[in-house]
Amino acid sequence: MSRKCKLTGIGPMSGNKVSHANNKTRRRWLPNLQWKHVYIPELDRTVRIRLTTRALRTIDKKGLLAFLRDEGLKLKDIL
C-alpha cells in the first residue's frame, strides 16, 4: 500500500537530517495519513479513504464535493 493521500496525492518527501555537528544523513518525511470514513450525501453512504490530516481539515471547511472540484477530481476517483 502506498503512503499517498487519495485526494491530494501528497506522498513521502526525502532530504537530509542535519546534526548539531553539521553531519548529513538521508531521511524521509512521511505524510500524516489517516484512515477515515467520509460521508457522501449524494450517494447516501460513507466511504473509507486514506487521506492526510490537511485534506481532512479542508474537507471540514469546504465539504467533500467542493474539495474534489478544486483538486480536479471526480467522485468515482476516490471510490
| Enclosing H/E stretch for 69 | helix 64-71
Asked whether residue 76 carries a pLDDT value surpassing 80, the answer given is yes
C-alpha 24: how far from chain center:
28
Round the average pLDDT of the chain to a whole number and report it. Answer: 94
List the grid coordinates of 69. Answer: 472540484
The pLDDT score that the predictor gives to residue 62 is 93
Q: What is the CATH number of domain 13-77?
A: 2.30.170.40
* pTM, entire model: 0.82
**pLDDT confidence band for 1 (50 / 70 / 90):** confident
The pLDDT score that the predictor gives to residue 28 is 98
Domain segments of the chain: what residues? 13-77
**pLDDT confidence band for 20 (50 / 70 / 90):** very high
